[in-house]
Amino acid sequence: MVFRPFQRTPRSLPWSEVIRVLRQAGAVPDGQEGSHAQYIRRVGVKSYAITITIHDATEIPPKTLSSIIRQSGLTKRQFWRLYYGGKAKDVLVET
């Protein structure tokens, strides 16, 4: 069996932490409708639309978190490195 780090999303996170990481990655607010906040992340000529469900003291479940990470254009490795304190300039190196 081959070890693949960050293959699955290990746990849920509060929505405020998810927004913190996305803002570190360059996402900016694009509006809110009810309990859904929209963010836009632009990388070069690509734009990523990200929708986050916001509720008081609610954690985002692992599958929803995976979907948000996918919408943002980040890899899971990049997301978790930013979450654990990595600097955006070091983590978000374009290849």
Q: What is the CATH number for 75?
A: 3.30.920.30
93 in a structural domain:
no
Rg (CA), the chain: 13
94 in a structural domain:
no
Total domains present in the chain: 1
* Count of other CB atoms within 10 angstroms of residue 86: 17
Tokens 């990388």 correspond to what residue? 43
Q: Tell me the average confidence (pLDDT) per consecutive run of 10 residues in the chain, 95 residues long.
A: 53 87 94 91 92 81 91 90 78 59
Condensed to tens digits (0 to 9), the pLDDT of residues 63-73 reads: 889 999 999 99
Domain range enclosing 78: 13-86
8 in a structural domain:
no
41 in a structural domain:
yes
95 in a structural domain:
no
8 A C-beta contact, residue 48 and residue 72: yes
Residue 74: its pLDDT value, please?
92
92 in a structural domain:
no
